[in-house]
Amino acid sequence: MAGPCEYVLTFKPLWRVLSLYAAWPQRVTKGGRLVRSGCSLRSVFTGLGVCLSCWRSWEALVFHLNFHFQIRDVPTRLLNLQYAVYIISLGIQIGFIRELPGNAAYAARWHDFQPELERVCGRRMRNDSLRKRVKYTAMALCFGWPLAIVVLVTLSSKYSPITFGEILFQAYVTTVFTLASTSWRMHCAFLRNACSMLGDALDEALLREDLDRKEVMRLERTWLKLYYMVNAGLRSITTTTFLDIVILVLNYTIVSFNVLYVIFNGFTILGVFLIFAGLLGLVTLTRICDQAHRINEELGGRPRQALATIRTYGRHRDTVGELDMFRLILRTHPARVVLLGFLPINRAVLGTLLVTMTTYLIVLIQLAVDA
């Protein structure tokens, strides 16, 4: 039975590599034995991030030493600060890549759990739309960015290695964000589908009058496994979403600097490209954070309440009112994740953050124009 990280293996080798990176971890075990490992692409992306970070750091240092004491205009100082933001953002991205949902143990648990889930529910998990999403995302990234870079470099009259470096950096950033967004949506979809399937099976079982103790124990065991899977997934989502919010602020700052670059240097192809790439990163990160909020609201308390329902039914079959109460809680209980005790993930916070950063952008532009 194919696990959640295996359904992408029917694509061509290019889709296979990118899909494994974008969707699930690259190790699958069978009977406790490692049968396949494909962890090279994550290392390649991490190494590329380190190389680009070192390159940008050296560029910023040389630029600062050569020009900072001779040129005092606003664009130069902003460019130095922009390089610093690039370096910080790349460092966080490296940590972000390493926190992608699911390590080898998590993938192995899904690989062993999915057949049992389908057997209990009596139907298979359908992931055709997710498979197509990964395929088209990989196709767009593989053919779109190289074509965009070739066109921009060809049309740019002021081509230089610096220009190519800027385009390569933004292409890398947007690629990582897009793959991560696809990964989160697939991760959330798997958790949601599993809870929905098992919830329907639980409702059907509780309506039967001939439900024996063995079936109750099997439902309880399956929900207990799903409870641990959901908790592990939500912890990973919480950790990485906090990094996403930090990157969101830094990326918004980069967009602000790119707008100033266009104001002072005119609407060049490079400037417009940088603004477009930054805005695409903002939209992607906002969708990731919103998806994290949705999945926590939907699944935060559902497995725990389902276990309470099953155990109540198993011990007190005649307590119909208590059973109905637990079933109502199972359907309506909201959950909310709070990061570090003070930052809830919801749309209101994201909206406030974007309004604040927009005000920050306006102030930056005003100061630059006045100077």
- Mean pLDDT for 218-242 is 69
* 75-96 residue pLDDT tens: 555 555 555 555 555 555 544 4
- Mean pLDDT for 251-255 is 65
* Domain ranges within the chain, ordered by starting residue: 42-300+335-370
* Burial 216-236, CB ≥16 within 10 A → b, else e: bebbbebbebbbebbebbbeb
* 119-177 residue pLDDT tens: 777 667 665 565 566 566 656 665 666 666 666 656 655 555 555 555 666 666 666 65
Position 253 pLDDT exceeds 60: yes
pLDDT of residue 194: 75
pLDDT of residue 219: 74
Element (H, E) at 36: strand 33-37
pLDDT of residue 230: 72
Percent of all residues in the chain with a pLDDT value above 90, rounded to a whole number? 0
Percent of all residues in the chain with a pLDDT value above 70, rounded to a whole number? 11
Give 6's contacts (C-beta < 8 A, 6+ positions apart): 28, 111
Task: Pick the range with the lowest mean pLDDT from 71-85, 292-306, 322-336.
Answer: 322-336
Q: Say how far apart CA 344 and CA 212 lie, in whole Å.
A: 43
pLDDT of residue 108: 59
